[in-house]
Amino acid sequence: MSEQADVLIIGAGPAGLSAALAAANDGARVVLVDDNPLPGGQIWRDGAQARVPAQARQLCDAVDNHATIQRHAATRVAARAGSTSLLVENAERGWVIDYHRLILCTGARELLLPFPGWTLPGVTGAGGLQALIKGGLPVADERTVIAGSGPLLLASASTAKQAGAQVLRIAEQASTSAVAAFALQLPRWPHKLLQSFGLFDGGYRPGTRIVAALGQDRLEGVRLQRGGEIEELECERLACGFGLIPNVQLGQALGCALGSAAIKVDAWQATDMAGIYAAGECTGFGGSELALVEGRIAGHAAAGNREAARRMWPARARWQHFADALNKHFALDPALKRLAQPDTLLCRCEDVPYAAVAAHDNWREAKLATRCGMGACQGRICGGATQYLFDWQPAAPRPPFTPTRIDTLTLLEESAQSSSP
């Protein structure tokens, strides 16, 4: 048996939730699929120690209480089952969802760059630390350093401090002038200006980048560089992230064109593939406000209510200006491409050093010769790193897109037989 949807949405972050509500309010039958056990995506991640904003709670409640929205949690897309159907799987079963319109709200993930010591226990991503703390990781009294780039560093530091960690330093790679120029523009978005006051930290240092994580069996300290000065700090935890990269793999697999490493969309949030839309950070990073607006536009457009979608265009333009300023002033310094040493692991799943990968001309060659990207993360970490370091574009994934049970995969044959004349 297959499930039927007028609009199928992949991803229950801000974009997916707002798209579901918009489409359902226009009369569409909506199915919302997300691989996390709780809605909210990464930015509104729920958990034992999470402080989810009231706006997120209200939106999640509205979606779950809507009569024409069916939400499937802890469910992943395994493969394409037909021109307008996807094979999905949860812990209990696999099944096919047929749809008229599809909206991809697959979000983004952290860009993690290799540097000496980055694989030591105690080193995580900046967003990864947030997720761990919200899930219940105890960090009370741990000396913590946050490094990398972007406002996520401040948000991660705030989460860590609320959980009792001692945040010694926030090392932002963007220059002092770039951070100041961005701050001067914040009055254009009063909510963001107010938010910045709450996140400010006396340990914030722009123009500072990670050099190495220090330690033998686990993290013992960090080495930072600011201009010509080197600073070493003893710590138990390092959270390091260099911004976000869009999750485009499903879009690629469905044939959607990319632009600037994100899914390319038009004014209606429509991709170049008929019937497929995309919204939120899989189309480019811009924060939750932009994702919410894009989700509403995509939801209305997918449900056929173009007038309602058009009314959201000015709000999208406003938050797109914020995204443009953010991406401009926190652009990564090319010096970050030289963090790794020849023996620094680039692919941590398969223990492949930087030098072995750098000896090749493209992702495919490196993967075949070194097994880079063939481990547990399937290139989600090292693939993003090589994309930044070498300007390589990983190929579209082949089905199954995630580890999938055999009995679920047999549904592909059944679906093909039922759709054949």
DSSP per residue, 326-354: HHHHTPPPGGGGG-S-TTSEEETTTTEEH
- Would you write out the chain's pLDDT as a tens digit for each of its 421 residues? 689 999 999 999 999 999 999 999 999 999 999 999 888 877 777 665 667 778 888 999 999 999 999 999 999 999 999 999 999 999 999 999 999 999 999 999 999 999 999 999 999 999 999 989 988 899 999 999 999 999 889 989 999 999 999 999 999 999 999 999 998 888 888 777 666 766 667 899 999 999 999 999 999 999 999 999 999 999 999 999 999 999 999 999 999 999 888 999 999 999 999 999 999 999 998 889 999 999 999 999 999 999 999 999 999 999 999 999 999 999 999 999 999 999 999 999 999 999 999 999 999 999 999 999 888 888 889 999 999 999 998 778 888 988 899 999 999 887 766 665 5
**Neighbouring residues of 307: CB distance < 8 A, sequence distance ≥ 6:** none
Q: Give the residues across from 278 on adjacent strands.
A: 104
Taking the C-alpha atoms of residue 6 and residue 279, their distance in angstroms, rounded to an integer, is: 17
Q: State residue 410's pLDDT score.
A: 92
- Indicate the Cα dihedral angle 329, 330, 331, 336, nearest 10°: 140
Which pLDDT does position 403 carry in this prediction? 86
Q: Which of 284, 269, 198, 348 is closest to 18 using CA atoms?
A: 269
Domains of the chain: 2-109+245-326 (3.50.50.60), 114-241 (3.50.50.60), 335-390 (no CATH)
Q: Closest Cα to residue 412, out of 80, 31, 35, 8?
A: 80
CA 161 to chain centre: 23
Q: What is the per-residue pLDDT for 261?
A: 85
pTM (two decimals):
0.93
Q: Between vectors from CA 242 to CA 390 and to CA 376, what angle results, nearest 5°?
A: 70
- Count the residues in the chain: 421
Alpha-carbon radius of gyration of the chain: 22
Separation in Å, CA 122 to CA 90, 114, 158, 193, 251: 31, 15, 18, 32, 33
Buried/exposed code over 244-259 (b: 16+ C-beta within 10 A; e: otherwise):
bbbbbbbbbbbebebe
What is the pLDDT, as a whole number, of residue 41? 79
Round to whole Å and give the CA distance between 337 and 390. 9
345-347 and 108-110 beta bridge pairing: unpaired
Element (H, E) at 414: helix 406-419
Of 296, 334, 329, 289, nearest in space to 312 by CA:
296
Pinpoint the alpha helices (H) of 54-108: 54-64
Task: For residues 228 and 80, give the distance between their C-alpha atoms in angstroms, rounded to a whole number.
Answer: 53
Angle between the N-to-C axes of helices 176-185 and 313-329, in degrees from 0 to 180, rounded to the nearest 10: 160
